[in-house]
Amino acid sequence: MAKYDALMATCRTRIDELKAQAPLKEKSLDTRMEQDGVSRRDFMKWSATTAAALGLPLQFAPMVAEAAEIADRVPLIWLHLAECTGCSESLIRADTPSIDALIFDHVSLEYHETLMAAAGWQAEENLEHAMTAYKGQYILAVEGAVPTANDGQFLTVGCKGHTGLHIIEEAAAGAAAIVSVGTCAAFGGVQAAAPNPTEAKGVEEVIHQPVVNLGGCPPSEKNIVGTVMYFIMFGRLPALDMFGRPKWAYGARVHDNCERRGRFDAGEFVETFGDQGAKDGYCLYKVGCKGPYTYNNCPTERFNHHVSWPVLAGHGCIGCSEPNFWDSMADFEKPLGRRELHSLDMTADKIGGAILGLSALGLGAHAVASVVVTKKEEASK
Amino acid sequence: MSKRVVVDPITRIEGHLRVEVEVDENNVITDAWTASTLWRGIETIMKGRTPMDAGLLVQRICGVCTFSHYRAGIEAVEDALDVKIPKNAELLRTLMQQALYMHDHVVHFYHLHALDWVDVVSALSADPAKAAQVAMKYTDKPIAAGEGDLRATQERVAKLVSTGKLGPFANAYWGNQTYKLSPEQNLIAVSHYLKALEVQRVAAEMMAIFGGKMPHPQSLVVGGVTSVRDMLSPARLQEFKHKHGIVTDFINRAYVPDVVMAAEAFKSEGSVLGGVGVKNFLATQDFALGNGKYLFEGGVIMNGDLANIQPIDPNAIKEDVTHSWYDANDAQHPYDGTTDPNYTGMIKRDTVYGELPTLDEKGKYSWVKSPRYNGEPVEVGPLACLLVNYGKGNKAVVDAVNGLLELTGLPIEALFTTLGRTAGRLLQTKLVADSVDETLNALITNLLADEATYVEPVMDPSKEYKGHSMIEAPRGMLSHWVRIKNGVVENYQAVVPTTWNSGPMDAAGKKGPYELSLIGMKLEDPTKPLEVIRVIHSFDPCMACAVHVMDFKGTDLGEYTIKAGA
C-alpha cells in the first residue's frame, strides 16, 4: 500500500478531525441535513469531474472500435488462485463488448484456465511462453486470493507444482498492468474472512507493483471489461480511489444512485422482508442494506445486461466491493451498528441510532461516508 | 515399462484439479489418481457467524453452481429452525434453479467440454455450403448453422489463425486422431460454441430477474425470497418466459442435435465407450413444482441394479481421509470428522515430461475427502439423476431417455459411459427447460390467492438447533449441514457432488468415480492426453466445491446426529 501512503495520511487526519467533532446526535435534524447537503455538493462535483475525465462506461463502446485499430490484440494472462470462478463467470456475461469480440477482436487471451483449450503441460507452456514473449506488455488479471500460510502450499498449480504465491510473483514481474479481479484478488475475499485459516491475502499485499482492484463478489462484467478496455484504449490504467479501485466505476456510493433513495429520504423502510413496504419498493436500510457504506456502480449499471441488481431484487447491498466486508459488514440483514469501518470510527456519525429516528440514523451514515469521498478526491489531486 | 503422465492444470473446469495416470507399453492406463490442489477454509470461516448469513457466505464456495450453495445454505438453516417457506418462495426458488441448470449445462457442454470433441482447426477446411446441408441432417431447423453463419464463423477463426496467435485455442490437442467429427461437423460445432456464448448470457439474465444478479444472486433469505416486486410484476414474469424461450430454442435446435451428432461420430471411440467404473449412483428429490410434485425423485442405485432403488439413508454416509491431506484413522460420518490438515507434499519422479513432483499414491495426495455410501464409492450428477428416475419409472425421464436412445440407435448400456454422462446432462437440461412453464403457471395460479413470500424465522439463542438440506446441484447431489448454538453457527459442513466423484482412494484401496473411469483407457499419445480430459470433463468438475474445509487448528468438530427420517 506504499503508493497510498500520502493519501492514507490525509485520510487519517480527516478521520481524527471527525472523531474530535461533538456527537451529532445532540444536534437538530436540520443541522444534520445541512451537513448532508454540503457533503452532497462536494460529492456531485467530484462525480462530474470523474465522469468527464473518463466517459466510461457509457461512451466507451465507440472508443473501443477506435482503440482496436491502434492496440489490436493486447496479450491478457488471467490467473486463477484461491477462488470460486465467479469472476470468470461474470466475465463471460460481458456484452460491451461481448466476450467473443473480446477474444477474437480485442485481446489475445493467452492463458485463462476456464476458457482455454490446452490443458496440463501444454497449458503451462502457454503461460510460460506468454510471460516470456510478451514480457512488459501483457495485462495480468488475477482472480482469487493468494494463500500464504505454509509457504503458500494450500494452493499449487501446474505439472511443476508451483504455489500460487510463486506464480503470482513471477507473472507480476513481467506485467504491464495488473488487475485484481474481484474482492478475493483485491482484498483477500471470503477465504480471508476471520479466522483466515490459509492466511489468504490480496495480490497487492504480496507483490510490490501497482495493482488495480476491482472489488465486488463478483465485480460486474462491465467493471472487468471496462478496465481491460481502458488499458487497451489509453495504454495506462484509470484513476484510482484510496482502495485502488477505478474511480469511473467505484467513485460513487451505491446509496447515492440507488433507485430506492427517495424512499430513504422520505423515511419509508421495509421492516421485514415480506411486508407491504417490500411490495412497494421501500428502502432496505433497516433490513441490512450496506449501500451507504459501499462504493460501486451497481445502481446505475446493474448486472447481466442491466437486468437487475440486488436492491432491485429486494435484498440489501452486502457491501461486497469493500475490503474486509465479510467481517466488517456482517450480519448482513441488520443495519450496521456502531463499529469501525475502514478505520473510520462510526461513533462519529451517530450510527447508534436507537434514540434517533431511522431516517436520521441513515442520514448520519450518509454524511460521514460523503466526507470520506470528498477527502479521497482532494487527496488524489 | 510403465510411464507416469501428469495433467495439471485440468483446464475448462471450476478450480484446481491434477490428474496423474500410469500407462503401460501400449499406452493403456493401468492406474490413475486425481487431486485437488487448493484448500480455502469456508466451513471454518462459517463458525461463530449468524446462521442468517450462512447462505450468502457459503454461496462463495462456488461461482459456477452459484445458486446451489446459496439455496442449500439457506435451506439447511430453515430446516434447523423449522421454517416452512410460502409456496411462492418455493416456486420462485425452483424458477431460479431451472435458470441455473439451463445456464450451467449449456456453458459446460459448449465452453468447457466441447473442445474435447471438436477440432477447431479442422473447421478451417470445411465447405460451409456442405456443412449447412450436414446441419439439416440433425434437425430440420438448425440454429446458427446456415451457410452464411458458418462462412462467417470460418472467416473469424481463419483471421485468428492467420495472426499466428490462437489465443485461448493455442497449443491444444488439435489433430489428435481421437477427434472424430468431419470438418463440416466441426464447423457447425464451432459456430454453436460462439452462439452459445450469446445464449448463456440470456440464461444468466433469467436467473438475474429473480436473483438480482448472476453469479452470486442475492434474493434468498432464511424464510423465503426477497424479489417480491419481480414476482408480482407481469412484465417480469413475461421477461422470464421470453428469455426461457430463447434458451430453450437453442437447446432444441443446437444442443440436442449436437449431442446426437457427437454420439454418432464417437460411438466407436474407446475413450467415450468406457468411463463408468463405479456403478453405484446417488440422487435426491428436487425441483418442487408445487402441490407436492417434484420433477426428479431421489434414491440410491448399487451395483447398477436399476430394479432395486433404495431411499437415501444419510447415516450410511461416511468420509475417509486415508489418502487426503488430513489426519484421521477411520472412515467417519461427516459430523464426527476430525479435521487436522496434514499436507505431505508431492514426491519427485520421472514422467513423460521429465522429472516432476508427483502425487504420492502410497500416502496422502489430495485436499478432497472420499465420501462413501455404506462403504462404497458412488457417482452423483445428471447421469445418476436420470438413472435413478429411469429405474423408478419417472415417465418424463423414461420417455426422454428412450427417445434419445432411439434417435442415436444406442443401446441402454451406452448410458454407462462417458458419452452417457454427457448425453444425460443434455436430457436433464431439456427436462428442466420443459418444466419451466409448469412452474410459472403454478406460481401465477397461486398468486391469485396468495402473495406471501416470507415467513420470519424465530431463533431462540438459548436453544440449540441442527438441520440439513439435500438438493440437486448441476453436478449432482449436494447437502449442507448446520448446527446452531448461542444464536451462531457452531458447526457447518457441506458434502458436495464433486467430492463424491473426485475423492482419492479410501483405506480399503477403493477408488472413486474419477480414478476408476480412467483405468483401462488407451491414450493415443501420452504427452497429449486428450482422452483423459475428455473423460474427466464429462463429470463437469467443480473443485472449489469439492474440497471439504476443515479447521486448520485441528479442533474436534464434535458429534452430530442425523435427524430420524432425514
Among B78, B226, B243, B344, the strongest candidate for a mutation testing the A interface, having the largest count of A CBs within 10 A, is B226
Most confident of A24-28, A101-105, A314-318, B326-330: A314-318
**A195 with B44: Cβ contact below 8 A:** yes
SS3 track for chain A: CHHHHHHHHHHHHHHHHHHHCCCHHHCCHHHHHHHHHHHHHHHHHHHHHHHHHHCCCCCHHHHHHHHHHHCCCEEEEEEECECCCHHHHHHCCCECCEHHHHHHHHEEEEEECCCCCCCHHHHHHHHHHHHHHCCCCEEEEEECEEECHHHHCCEEECCCCEEHHHHHHHHHHCEEEEEEEHHHHHHCHHHHCCCCCCCEECHHHHCCCCCEEECCCCCCHHHHHHHHHHHHHHCCCCCECCCCCEHHHHCCEHHHHCCCHHHHHCCCECCCCCCHHHHHCCECHHHCCCHHHCECCHHHHCECCCCECCCCCCCCCCCCCCCCHHHHCCCCCCCCCCCEECCEEHHHHCCCCCCCCHHHHHHHHHHHHHHHHHHHHHHHC
Per-residue pLDDT for A104 more than 90? no
**Buried b or exposed e, range A52-85, using 16+ CB within 10 angstroms:** eebebbeebeebbeebbeeeebbbbbbbbbbbbb
For residue B48, the chain A residue with the least C-alpha distance is A194
| Residue whose cell numbers read 492406463 | B29
For residue A73, the model assigns a pLDDT of: 63
Residue A229: pLDDT band (50, 70, 90) is confident
For residue A113, the chain B residue with the least C-alpha distance is B11
Among B56, B198, B202, B528, the strongest candidate for a mutation testing the A interface, having the largest count of A CBs within 10 A, is B56
Section B70-94 average pLDDT = 97
**A119 with B9: Cβ contact below 8 A:** yes
Give the nearest partner residue to A309 out of B115, B212, B223, using CB atoms: B212
Section A111-136 average pLDDT = 95
Give the nearest partner residue to B168 out of A109, A124, A159, using CB atoms: A109
For residue B548, the model assigns a pLDDT of: 56
Set of cell numbers at residue A277 = 413496504
Per-residue pLDDT for B215 more than 60? yes
Distance CA B34, CA B49 (A): 33
Per-residue pLDDT for B310 more than 90? yes
For residue B338, the model assigns a pLDDT of: 58
Sorted by sequence, the CB contacts under 8 Å of residue B283 that are 6+ apart come out as B296, B298, B299, B380, B384, B385, B387, B388, B389, B472, B476, B477
Task: Please state the domain extents for chain B.
Answer: 84-275
Count Cα neighbours of B139 within 13 Å in the Cβ-side half-sphere: 20
Per-residue pLDDT for B229 more than 70? yes
Rounded percentage of chain A residues whose pLDDT exceeds 70: 69
How many CB atoms neighbour CB B409 within 10 A? Answer: 11
Distance CA B464, CA A37 (A): 48
Angle at B97 between CA B91 and CA B102, to 5 degrees: 130
Q: What are phi and psi of B547, to 5 degrees?
A: -80, 110
Give the nearest partner residue to A314 out of B14, B228, B533, using CB atoms: B228
Per-residue pLDDT for A143 more than 70? yes
Give the nearest partner residue to B64 out of A85, A189, A318, using CB atoms: A85
Give the nearest partner residue to A125 out of B6, B171, B207, using CB atoms: B171
**B201 with A305: Cβ contact below 8 A:** yes
Per-residue pLDDT for B562 more than 60? no
Section A69-77 average pLDDT = 65
Measured in whole angstroms, the distance separating CA A178 from the mean position of its chain's CA atoms is: 15
Distance CA B110, CA A110 (A): 20
Residue B561: pLDDT band (50, 70, 90) is very low
Rounded percentage of chain A residues whose pLDDT exceeds 90: 58
Tell me the helices (H) and strands (E) count for chain B, helix number first: 19, 18
Question: pLDDT, tens digit, for every residue of B46-78?
Answer: 999 999 999 999 999 999 999 999 999 999 999
Count Cα neighbours of A42 within 13 Å in the Cβ-side half-sphere: 18
A93 touches A304 (CB < 8 A) = yes
Residue B324: pLDDT band (50, 70, 90) is very high
SS3 track for B132-170: HHHHHHHCCCCCCCCHHHHHHHHHHHHHHHHCCCCHHHC
Sorted by sequence, the CB contacts under 8 Å of residue B460 that are 6+ apart come out as none
Distances (CA, A) of B272 to A139, B13, B423: 38, 19, 11
In angstroms, the separation between the Cα of residue A258 and the nearest Cα of chain B is 14
Residues of B in contact with A189 (CB under 8 A): 60
Per-residue pLDDT for A7 more than 80? no
Distance CA A205, CA A189 (A): 13
Residues of A in contact with B44 (CB under 8 A): 195, 197
Section B420-430 average pLDDT = 97
Rounded percentage of chain B residues whose pLDDT exceeds 90: 84
Per-residue pLDDT for A332 more than 90? yes
For residue A184, the chain B residue with the least C-alpha distance is B60
Residues of A in contact with B364 (CB under 8 A): none
For residue A222, the model assigns a pLDDT of: 86
Among A308, A321, A324, A328, the strongest candidate for a mutation testing the B interface, having the largest count of B CBs within 10 A, is A308
A and B: number of Cβ contacts within 8 A: 311
For the entire predicted model, the pTM comes to 0.88
Per-residue pLDDT for B262 more than 80? yes
**A119 with B210: Cβ contact below 8 A:** no
Per-residue pLDDT for A365 more than 80? no
**Is B548 marked within a binding site?**
yes
Q: What are phi and psi of A47, to 5 degrees?
A: -60, -45
**B528 with A158: Cβ contact below 8 A:** no
Per-residue pLDDT for A209 more than 80? yes
Residues of B in contact with A153 (CB under 8 A): 343, 345
Sorted by sequence, the CB contacts under 8 Å of residue B448 that are 6+ apart come out as none
DSSP string, B461-517: TTS-EEEEEEEEETTEEEEEEEEEETTEEEEEEEE-HHHHHH----TT----HHHHH
Question: pLDDT, tens digit, for every residue of B456-502?
Answer: 999 999 999 999 999 999 999 999 999 999 999 998 888 899 999 99
**B8 with A153: Cβ contact below 8 A:** no
Residues of B in contact with A305 (CB under 8 A): 201, 205
For residue B337, the model assigns a pLDDT of: 61
Residues of A in contact with B232 (CB under 8 A): 279
Distances (CA, A) of B564 to B314, B315, B478: 9, 9, 19
Residue A42: pLDDT band (50, 70, 90) is very low
Per-residue pLDDT for A33 more than 80? no
**B201 with A156: Cβ contact below 8 A:** no
For residue B280, the model assigns a pLDDT of: 97
| Residue whose cell numbers read 418442487 | B288
Sorted by sequence, the CB contacts under 8 Å of residue B16 that are 6+ apart come out as A80, A155, A156, A157, B9, B36, B37, B38, B543
Amino acid at B269: E
Section A189-211 average pLDDT = 96
The one-character DSSP state at B235 is: H
C-alpha torsion A114→A118→A120→A126, nearest 10:
-100
A335 touches A286 (CB < 8 A) = yes
Section B317-345 average pLDDT = 82
Beta strands in B316-433 (DSSP E): 317-320, 326-327, 340-341, 347-351, 354-358, 370-373
Per-residue pLDDT for A16 more than 80? no
Residues of A in contact with B33 (CB under 8 A): none
Give the nearest partner residue to A191 out of B12, B40, B351, using CB atoms: B40
Give the nearest partner residue to B213 out of A124, A153, A309, using CB atoms: A309
Count Cα neighbours of B114 within 13 Å in the Cβ-side half-sphere: 28
In angstroms, the separation between the Cα of residue A293 and the nearest Cα of chain B is 18
Give the nearest partner residue to B172 out of A88, A90, A118, using CB atoms: A118
For residue B336, the model assigns a pLDDT of: 67
Distance CA A111, CA A89 (A): 16
In angstroms, the separation between the Cα of residue A25 and the nearest Cα of chain B is 29
For residue A325, the chain B residue with the least C-alpha distance is B57
Per-residue pLDDT for A24 more than 80? no
B294 touches B287 (CB < 8 A) = yes
For residue A100, the model assigns a pLDDT of: 80
* CATH domain B84-275 topology: Cytochrome-c3 Hydrogenase; chain B (1.10.645)
Residue A18: pLDDT band (50, 70, 90) is very low
In angstroms, the separation between the Cα of residue A234 and the nearest Cα of chain B is 22
**A313 with B455: Cβ contact below 8 A:** no
The one-character DSSP state at B444 is: H
Distances (CA, A) of B112 to B64, B179, B303, B432, B537: 12, 16, 30, 20, 7
In angstroms, the separation between the Cα of residue A34 and the nearest Cα of chain B is 34
C-alpha torsion B276→B278→B279→B281, nearest 10:
-100
Question: pLDDT, tens digit, for every residue of B382-395?
Answer: 999 999 999 999 99
**Is B385 marked within a binding site?**
no
The one-character DSSP state at B539 is: T
Set of cell numbers at residue B330 = 477411520
* Residue B30 burial (C-beta neighbours within 10 Å; 0-12, 13-18, 19+): middle
* pLDDT top residue among A222 and B186: B186
Residues of B in contact with A154 (CB under 8 A): 38-40, 343
For residue B165, the chain A residue with the least C-alpha distance is A108
For residue A346, the model assigns a pLDDT of: 40
State the ipTM, two decimals.
0.94
Specify the 3-state DSSP secondary structure of B9.
coil
